[in-house]
């Protein structure tokens, strides 16, 4: 099963958005998002919720606990 970093990279590649757009949506720096993508850092709960909302997936999917993308 995928982990958070893999899912974040995959979602970014599938979407027509950039990490810069995600950073602006989250109100954090591009470098912070790049740290998430590399696995150097992980977002807090509020950040996970916002990222899941941004990509319109469930948190379980985002963190690799489920292969089902839909939010319930």
- Residue-by-residue DSSP string for 32-64: HHHHHHHTS----HHHHHHHHHHHT--HHHHTT
**Mean of pLDDT values over 5-29:** 96
Q: With 80 as the cut, is the pLDDT of residue 63 above it?
A: yes
Q: With 80 as the cut, is the pLDDT of residue 1 above it?
A: no
* Tens-digit pLDDT profile for residues 28-41: 999 999 999 999 99
**Mean of pLDDT values over 14-28:** 96
| 11: number of Cβ within 10 Å | 20
Residue 10, CA distances (Å) to 55, 61 in order:
11, 12
The Cα–Cα gap between 17 and 22 comes to 7
Contact 59, 49 (CB under 8 A): yes
């Amino acid at each position: 099963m995928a982990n958070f970093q893999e899912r974040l990279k995959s979602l970014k590649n599938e979407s027509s958005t950039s990490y810069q757009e995600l950073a602006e949506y989250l109100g954090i720096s591009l470098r912070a998002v790049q740290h998430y993508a590399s696995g150097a850092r992980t977002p807090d709960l509020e950040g996970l919720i916002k990222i899941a909302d941004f990509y319109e997936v469930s948190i379980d999917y985002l963190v690799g606990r489920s292969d089902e993308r839909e939010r319930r």
